[in-house]
Amino acid sequence: MCGIVGYTGNKNATEILMKGLKSLEYRGYDSAGVAVFTGSKIKTVKEKGRLKNLKAMLLETSVEGNTGIGHTRWATHGVPSDINSHPHTSEDGKIAVVHNGIIENYEELRVMLKSKGYTFKSETDTEVIPHLIDMYYDGDVFCAVKKAVSHLDGSYALGVICENEPDKLIAVRNRSPLIIGAGEGENFIASDIPAVLPYTRNVFFLDDGEIAVITKGSVNIYDSDGQAVEKLPETVNLSETAAQKGGYEHFMLKEIHEQPKAVADTLRSRISNGKNVKFDGFDAETVTGFEKICIVACGTAYHAGLVGKMVIEKLAKVPTDVELASEFRYNEPLLDNNMLVIAISQSGETADTLAGVRLAKEKGAYVLAITNVAGSSISREADNVFYTYAGPEISVASTKAYTTQLVAMYLFALFLAESRKTLKPTELDIVKNELLNMPETLESVLELEGEIKRLSKEIYKETDMYFLGRGLDYKAAMEGSLKLKEISYIHSETYAGGELKHGPIALIEEGTVVIAISTNKEICAKMDSNIKEVTARGAYTVVFANESTATQHKECSDIITMPEVNPLLTPITSAVPLQLLAYYVAYNKGEAIDKPRNLAKSVTVE
């Protein structure tokens, strides 16, 4: 999704902006631009395509100064083009704006501005903003921005500069993230923390409706009424190297290998020395009071929710639904104050999930957020937050964020079960102890990498693949299939084993690749019947089994045997080889693994 950076200080602003935009590339974009004070003028340069195009343009025109704003755009309103790229400016070029988010009432604002004589160059929603600021500008850019944003409906993080007030940045946040990096004699704005990490770890988190006036020596924050807000910077503990590839060819492979640590960190945050799971903020009465749970999420996070439902119902016996956030918000869900809504979101910024959180709160439900990003919108709006400790996930395809979401689901289910005394402590201890061993188990799962590499060479030229599973394996298969299609562009679908003969088996022909997940001893014979059904019709069948089920599957074309774990925990151990499979298939095809086409890391539009 779009990225914003801004700088004011004594250094070369263009260089800092370009470096910041580079660090935000992972968010996905299709054009980029900068606007910098050069002498007494603002110079704006923007270009469709990757940052290297913008860099080439900047070599041709001298854009040197100490204050500026930059942007990477992911098209929503208007095609990717030079004109539609940000920064957008007032007609005289004296006001420049970068914007993340969507202005929902831009059409009516365009009509109003046109009636006042303003003309538009782009098809974007954003261009109304510099014109509105210009309309109100009377010598004070802060006042003009404050008045301009009072007309805007929708989500927006803004960076603004004005030629008449050099070396000043204005930053605004409303339902789209924006932070201020506080340096020594220099300050920064950014839509995401990695952009400021090379310079500072001191960060102001803006709240919705806040406007900041930033110079190299000062940061002043105001609410939407213009009242000063007292705020101190917070210190963030992210290392710069954590945001780099660390020797791996792709962030995705690095992040797959980071899973033992990510899982250990997440476990450690809630449980130590095998004791009870701790959850601050939930009093005993609240925990025992929930009559129903609804999990709301999108994409991979939704798959974590599907596993969560089964685990919560099994361990804590609380009826649980799982809803795609984009459906939930429009389906008039039955919510009340006896319900717990769990919003799962790696980024904490997904627009549909955030809307689900707001709806749930409006209807009186208690909201628990499970997110990987501190200070994210969802974490700030929920009643309680469980932070996963995956560390920054740069690759668009989610891997370690997913397995830590699974861990969060297990820990929460254990916490509920312990509090509600739904199972004997000895029964819960069996699951808890195996969960605590998961980092070591995942180290052994990663040893399957060589086998997966070999398998990927057999199948990477396929155009279609089918995934099968039953129970928790079915949920694991859904995530495996999503991962494969996201980065390899191979069409794939997932079916519950028992559903095959109700239609999908018609698709199986000689050589069709079918990937079956079979980790549950209790139902592996049923799974084997499904495998035989497709084998008999010519399928090339690959089974992901474990030590106790592998012997059941004698007639498959290939088998990967994963370490044995408690049947409830297998979605974690299956996730890793399926991620590796997607990775190596995409690798063999030569795809852009970390930045797959059409996808963005953080989906902040509906």
Is 483 noted as a catalytic residue in this protein? no
CB of 187 to ligand M6R, least distance (A): 28
CA atoms of 332 and 329, how far apart (whole Å): 7
Assign 489 to helix, strand or coil.
coil
Q: Which of 46, 94, 309, 601 is catalytic?
A: 601
Alpha carbon distance, N-terminus to C-terminus of the chain: 12
In the DSSP assignment, the letter for residue 568 is G
Q: How many CB atoms lie within 10 A of CB 291?
A: 11
Structure tokens of 383?
């009643």
Task: Return left, alpha or beta for 479; rule: phi > 0 is left, psi -120 to 50 is alpha, else beta.
Answer: alpha
For ligand M6R, the closer CB: 165 or 594: 594
SS3 state at 157: strand
- State the Cα–Cα distance between residues 57 and 150, nearest whole angstrom: 35
Residue 269: CB partners within 8 Å, gap ≥ 6? Answer: 387, 389
Among 122, 148, 154, 146, which Cα is nearest to 134's?
148
CB of 266 to ligand M6R, least distance (A): 15
Q: How far is the CB of 312 from ligand M6R (least distance, A)?
A: 19
Q: What does the alpha-carbon distance between residue 470 and residue 544 come to, in Å, rounded to a whole number? A: 13
Q: How far is the CB of 452 from ligand M6R (least distance, A)?
A: 18
Between 65 and 194, CB nearer to ligand M6R: 194
Instruction: Report, in Å, the least distance between residue 347 CB and ligand M6R.
Output: 3
Q: Bridge-partner residues for 205, per DSSP?
A: 179
- CB nearer to ligand M6R: pick between 37 and 205: 205
Nearest Cα neighbor of 335 from 395, 286, 294 is 294
Q: Are strands 366-371 and 384-387 parallel, antiparallel or unpaired?
A: parallel
How many angstroms separate the CA atoms of 398 and 446, rounded?
17
Q: Which of 2, 162, 524, 556 is catalytic?
A: 2
> 350 or 404: whose CB is closer to ligand M6R?
350
Q: Considering only CA atoms, which of 221, 217, 222 is closest in space to residue 187? A: 217
What's the chain's length in residues?
606
Minimum separation from the CB atom of position 374 to ligand M6R (A): 14
Those residues with Cβ within 8 angstroms of residue 97's Cβ, 6 or more apart along the chain or in another chain: 69, 86, 87, 88, 89, 126, 129, 130, 133, 158, 159, 160
Question: In degrees rounded to 5, what are phi and psi of residue 46?
Answer: -145, 155
CB of 302 to ligand M6R, least distance (A): 7
Q: Which is nearer to ligand M6R, 16 or 301 (CB)?
A: 301
Identity of the residue, 113 or 301, whose beta carbon is nearer to ligand M6R in the bound complex: 301
Query: Nearer Cβ to ligand M6R, position 393 or 418?
Result: 393
Residues at the interface with ligand M6R (CB under 6 A): 298-301, 345-347, 350, 353, 396-398, 486, 599, 602-603
Q: Is 601 a catalytic residue?
A: yes
Active site residues: 2, 601
